[in-house]
A and B are shown apart, each in its own frame.
Chain A
Amino acid sequence: MSYRDLRNFTEMMRALGYTRLISMENFRSPNFPLVAEVLIWLVKRYDPNADIPSDTDTEQDRVIFIKSVAQFMATKAHIKLNTKKLYQADGYAVKELLKVTSVLYSAMKTNIGGEVTNDEDDTPITFDISSRIGDLKDSRRLATEITRKGASLYDLLGKEVDLREARSTVIARQLEINEVEKGIINSVKAVENDITKTNTNLENVASDEANLEAKIEKRKGELERNQKRLATLQSVRPAYQDELERYEEELGGIYATYLEKFRNLTYLEQQLEEYNKVEQDKLEETEMSLRKMADKIKNEEQRLQVQLEDEDEFEGLIDEDVEVDSDGSEPELQHAASKRKPRPRHSKHRNSTSGLVDDDDGASGDSDDDQVEQRRPRPSHNRERQAGASGQRDNNMGGKPQVFGSMGMGDDDDEDDDEDDEDSDDMGSGGSDIDIDDDDIGGDSEDDEMEMARAVRGARNRGGQPQQPLDDSDNDF
């Protein structure tokens, strides 16, 4: 054993990539397990499928193992190993192992040598991925192709089982020369026939061509003639043409006059109709006015009658009112008011105006004037009431009448008016009308708190209200 062998052996095993590190001292004393491990590893390096008994527990096993390895090396790698030295598993075994490893090592070295020259081209490794994307696609395509081809190959190979038999039978069959000859002659004849047929066909081609050309010529001539005829026919003017034209003109004139007359007629008819309608309207109007007159008269009579009755009962009414006040109950009051005030008449009047307002969308000046007039007393009445309630309120409300006066024509006002009208229609009572109106105005300019406060006050004041509408209505009339 020698230092150099050990050194070279460890170096070669390192280079070959043996998984364990081999120490220089490993073979100083016989070390069969390591030798066996190295041998198995080397054998696997030569042939991964090699079948070597790996049992080395007993002496007999070891002998068999060494023998099989030596045999393997001799047959596969043509390396003669000294089995005795290997069995010693010491420095001398290293010498034997070296024989195997040096072959592998030199092979690797030449390989690496080749690689080194190749590597030089590749040394500037490009990490340009974009250029590699194409490669990736290619490789993917190739991969699918491979699988596809593989599949088809597999199918074909599957068929092979059936085909093999047919093939083998065919191959196995004896060939008779006569039959073969006959077949060949037949086929030759058939081919010859084909050839002659095509040849004749080729000859016929020229005549066919001539025929066709002649036909084309004939058709052309016909076409020409027909075209000439068409031209001559187009140029000739028929005898009755002039007459036709004349009549046409005449007919046109007649039609025009007819049209004029028809128009006039229809105009006159329309005039008549309008006139009739006006007449009818007038009639209705007079009738209406007559009816109105009659109503007025009737009302007058009724009122006169009522007035006569009122004068009798006037004293009792005031007493009743006072009583209601002390009670503080509203519905009764309203009821009382509606019962015996001139109110009904008033509301009726308003009804008629409100109807007009509805029709003309509040554009009628009459109704507005009417309304303004109607309202005017209301602010003053408010003021009176507020003066009783609080100074601050007074201030606020002091501006209001002006606004009302100036904004008589305003849209907001109109809407208010509409609401008012509706309200008044619904309620049909002077006291409640005023209340709601007040609240609305308040809601426009003041906060909820004030509203609340006012609502309370309103409720408080209501006791005194019924008298004022009375005055109101008195003033009005």
Chain B
Amino acid sequence: MRFKTTLQKEPKHTELVSCVGWITPDELFSGSDDHAIIRWNLLGASDTKQVCKLSEDVFPVDMHWFPKSPGGGKNKGSEVFILACTDGKYLLISRSGRIEKHVEAHRGAVLSTRWSYDGTALATAGEDGQVKVWSRSGMLRSTLSQNSSPVYAITWNPDSDHLLYTNGKQLVIKSLQANAKPLTWKGHEGVILKVDWNPVNNLILSGAEDCKYKVWDSYGRLMYSSSAHDYPITSVSWTPDGELFAVGSYNTLRLCDKSGWSHALEKPNCGSIFNFAWSSDGTQVAGACGNGQVIFAHIIERRLEWKNFEVTVNESKQIQVRNVLNDAREKLDFRDRIIKVSLAFDHLVVATSSQCYVYSTRNWNTPMIFDLKEGSVTLITQAEKHFLLVDSAGVYVYSYEGRLVCTPKFQGMRTEILNTLTVTISNDTIAIRDKTDEKVIHLFDATTGKSMGDGKPLSHKLEVMEVELDQCGPANERRLAIVDRNRDLYLVSVRVFGTQRKIVKLGTMIHSVAWNDQTNMLAAMADGKFIVWYYPNAALVDKDLITKTVFEKDASEFGKNPYLSNFLGNHVAIRRAEGSIVSTGVSPYPAILHGYITGGRWEDAVRLCRFVKDECLWSCLAAMAAYNKELSTAEIAYAAINQADKVQYILHIKDIPSKEARNAEMALLCGNTQDAEGILLQGGLIFRGIMMNIQLYNWDRALELAVKHKTHVDTVLAYRKRYLGQFDRKEKNKRFLQYSEGVEIDWEKIETKIEMEYQKEREKPSGGKR
């Protein structure tokens, strides 16, 4: 990936350009020390037009367009930008160039100004060291901070309730609440000139006179620090999707990945770049240059790979596809600028500024094409049968034939900050993390777009950082992997009917997770280890088995902070902190085993395990068999991993004549007492339900059932009494006291009754012969 830069032959501005801002992906405004505001139209012959001329003593410093309101284009009248000036005023200027308002803001120059993301407020920072927050109409809301040195840059946090500003060599995050204590840390060795805070990945970027740029997280922890450049860093800017950022210095333009390493370095002859502005689609950046130029840089050579295909966006309107197997190359040309490209599940999805193209990897000639409502697609996520498209107006699910499947919606959805971590799609389910309450995950049916189940979103006990859906298996076995703020990994079943949603904790200190694309294996980077759960479902089946079905490897070979980029087949692609992609393999047997299980070929599965002789694989098989209630296979598998107790229990289950009872016992084996009880009661085996509760010492429930169904009350009481008698304790439970009054306990009678029950069960026609 690199920049393709364009400079004008003749600078359009005669003096230093200080600020730039995009209004649409094709229209740019630039302000310069020659007092002119120029509009650049990049479509067609890139012509420029002077929009307005400022008075002689007014020099612009910074510019920021009013953010597009969600829903888009509703109020055209709000197309204004704020212009910070050296005379201490800021101006509100409309698109046509009319100065709508000028407000006296600071003593000395206004150095930086930003609208909040919701557009309700704007913040300014001045040479006098003050940080002020203003209302949309230009009324002073508060003076947030007063410092001794100029505040060179300011930026809002993603929720628009905190401000980040510079104070000399320090960075300060301060809440809009007046009495909140600011978070201050020393960021650089020199004066910090620019900061930026990305709303999508919540990372902070700073550039300073010590010639370094640094990446911080929102708590002020250093994520990356660059080596020193030749000149001070005069500008930094995130792309809207937070995947990349641009760094500007004297005659230097750098494109970096969000983890900090540099994609490309350009050395245009343009002087210092004082300001950057990314277009809303994130494909091009404009820079304000010290010598009067405005530099335009397009991102080209964006590269994707999936299995044997390699896709490169080698020009702004052209994609080159290479099949590595036979070195066949295809060139795909597009009418408009390419904005997003995604390649997975045998399909290439390309979003241009007006249309979306869907190619199959089998046929590169005839794509499915459909028009896009909004130009700037911010995210494409693919599943096997359909894909998810996110633009500023909403979230859409399209099939690969180009048909709109559905448009999931929820209250307070902010589409512009959705990213791959917070949105996930599988063939039947979509999960989106809420932004306003980060603990909440909205689940949608992918075919209808309706909220799953009772319409209530899934609520986790902590803020959710990452959601991932598994891709295979039937819809009602869908599992969602959640990484929360503590970096703990949880597995959640998506579809639940009646019973409570099950949440199982799989691991801690998780950096990143990825599901396999063909089987439901889950890979994760955790605490210096690379972990693969061959059968994560085992956590819901038999917790004892989960530790045995895990493959662990030391991840020190992947360096610090590796990131799992995908998990295709037996290969895991891992992106190291410095940007290189490393592949590692996992054993192919679990995948084969998964294949046998989905095909119901249990004998083959057993044979495979016998061949491989791996305890891990046996454990997987045991869990799978237990989950699928395949008793004989489970017996073999448990025997192979030396779980004699389980084998015994399975043998016991085999003896049970009634099917419901067997299922219930299997549920018990898996530790799901509630399920077991539910199954028993549904099957009319009330006596067994009562007995189960007695055996679990769940006396209250046993009594309740007995009383409710008016049977075996005496049995329950008898067992209770015997139990208490063993400990020489007196009955204290009021209910038991109450019922025991009128009941005579006669063990002989009870035993005959129990024998009768079993007899009855055996004779029952529904108790299928094994």
On A, residues with C-beta under 8 Å from B are: 2-4, 7-8, 10-11, 14-15, 21, 23-25, 28, 109, 112-113, 116-117, 120
A21 touches B86 (CB 8 A): no
Complex alpha-carbon distance, A7 and B86, angstroms: 11
A3 touches B271 (CB 8 A): no
A11 touches B16 (CB 8 A): yes
Which residues of chain B come closer than 8 Å to A24, judged between CB atoms? 150, 152, 191, 193, 209
Report the minimal beta-carbon distance from A13 to chain B, rounded to whole angstroms: 10
The answer to whether residues A109 and B109 also contact, given A11-B16, A21-B209, A23-B191 and a CB cut-off of 8 A, is no
A116 touches B9 (CB 8 A): yes
Cβ-closest chain A residue relative to B232: A21
The answer to whether residues A23 and B190 also contact, given A2-B108, A3-B86, A14-B272 and a CB cut-off of 8 A, is yes
Contact among A4, A23, A109 for B86, CB-based, below 8 A: A4
Which residues of chain A come closer than 8 Å to B274, judged between CB atoms? 7
Complex alpha-carbon distance, A23 and B234, angstroms: 11
Which residues of chain A come closer than 8 Å to B536, judged between CB atoms? none
Please name 27 pairs of A and B residues whose Cβ atoms are closer than 8 Å in the assembled complex, sorted by A: A2-B86, A2-B108, A3-B86, A3-B108, A3-B111, A4-B86, A7-B274, A8-B16, A8-B33, A10-B232, A11-B16, A11-B290, A14-B250, A14-B271, A15-B250, A15-B291, A21-B231, A23-B232, A24-B152, A24-B193, A24-B209, A25-B149, A25-B191, A25-B209, A109-B291, A112-B291, A117-B9
Which residues of chain B come closer than 8 Å to A120, judged between CB atoms? 9
Complex alpha-carbon distance, A4 and B232, angstroms: 16
Report the minimal beta-carbon distance from A9 to chain B, rounded to whole angstroms: 11
Complex alpha-carbon distance, A3 and B61, angstroms: 9
Complex alpha-carbon distance, A227 and B250, angstroms: 106
On B, residues with C-beta under 8 Å from A are: 9-10, 16, 33, 59, 61, 86, 108-109, 111, 127, 149-150, 152, 168, 190-191, 193, 209, 211, 231-232, 250, 269, 271-272, 274, 290-291
A23 touches B61 (CB 8 A): no
Complex alpha-carbon distance, A24 and B59, angstroms: 18
Which residues of chain A come closer than 8 Å to B108, judged between CB atoms? 2-3
Complex alpha-carbon distance, A109 and B111, angstroms: 26
Which 8 pairs from chain A and chain B are nearest by CB? Answer: A3-B109, A11-B290, A4-B86, A14-B250, A3-B127, A23-B209, A25-B191, A4-B59
Report the minimal beta-carbon distance from A21 to chain B, rounded to whole angstroms: 6
Complex alpha-carbon distance, A236 and B150, angstroms: 139
Cβ-closest chain A residue relative to B290: A11
Which residues of chain B come closer than 8 Å to A113, judged between CB atoms? 10
Complex alpha-carbon distance, A117 and B149, angstroms: 43
Cβ-closest chain B residue relative to A117: B9
Which residues of chain A come closer than 8 Å to B291, judged between CB atoms? 15, 109, 112
Report the minimal beta-carbon distance from B54 to chain A, rounded to whole angstroms: 13
Contact among A2, A11, A25 for B271, CB-based, below 8 A: A11
Complex alpha-carbon distance, A116 and B268, angstroms: 13
Q: A4-B109, A28-B149 are in contact. List 17 more A-B contacts (CB 8 A).
A: A2-B109, A3-B61, A4-B61, A7-B16, A8-B16, A11-B271, A14-B250, A14-B271, A15-B290, A21-B209, A21-B232, A24-B150, A24-B209, A25-B209, A109-B291, A116-B9, A117-B9
Complex alpha-carbon distance, A186 and B191, angstroms: 93
Count chain A CB atoms within 10 A of each CB in B9, B231, B291 and give the residue with the most.
B291
Cβ-closest chain A residue relative to B209: A23
B250 touches A4 (CB 8 A): no
Which residues of chain B come closer than 8 Å to A15, judged between CB atoms? 250, 271, 290-291
Which residues of chain A come closer than 8 Å to B231, judged between CB atoms? 14, 21
Which residues of chain A come closer than 8 Å to B193, judged between CB atoms? 24
Complex alpha-carbon distance, A11 and B150, angstroms: 18
B232 touches A3 (CB 8 A): no
Cβ-closest chain B residue relative to A120: B9
Report the minimal beta-carbon distance from B151 to chain A, rounded to whole angstroms: 11
Complex alpha-carbon distance, A433 and B758, angstroms: 135
Complex alpha-carbon distance, A109 and B10, angstroms: 11
Complex alpha-carbon distance, A7 and B108, angstroms: 14
Complex alpha-carbon distance, A10 and B232, angstroms: 10
Cβ-closest chain A residue relative to B193: A24
Which residues of chain A come closer than 8 Å to B16, judged between CB atoms? 7-8, 11
Cβ-closest chain A residue relative to B60: A4
Cβ-closest chain A residue relative to B274: A7
Complex alpha-carbon distance, A8 and B61, angstroms: 12
Complex alpha-carbon distance, A223 and B108, angstroms: 123
Complex alpha-carbon distance, A113 and B291, angstroms: 11
Which residues of chain A come closer than 8 Å to B150, judged between CB atoms? 3, 24
Which residues of chain A come closer than 8 Å to B33, judged between CB atoms? 4, 8
Report the minimal beta-carbon distance from A4 to chain B, rounded to whole angstroms: 5
Which residues of chain B come closer than 8 Å to A11, judged between CB atoms? 16, 250, 271-272, 290
Which residues of chain B come closer than 8 Å to A2, judged between CB atoms? 86, 108-109, 127
Report the minimal beta-carbon distance from A172 to chain B, rounded to whole angstroms: 60
Cβ-closest chain B residue relative to A4: B86
Report the minimal beta-carbon distance from A104 to chain B, rounded to whole angstroms: 14
Cβ-closest chain A residue relative to B208: A23
Report the minimal beta-carbon distance from B288 to chain A, rounded to whole angstroms: 11
Report the minimal beta-carbon distance from A123 to chain B, rounded to whole angstroms: 12
Which residues of chain B come closer than 8 Å to A10, judged between CB atoms? 232
Cβ-closest chain B residue relative to A28: B149
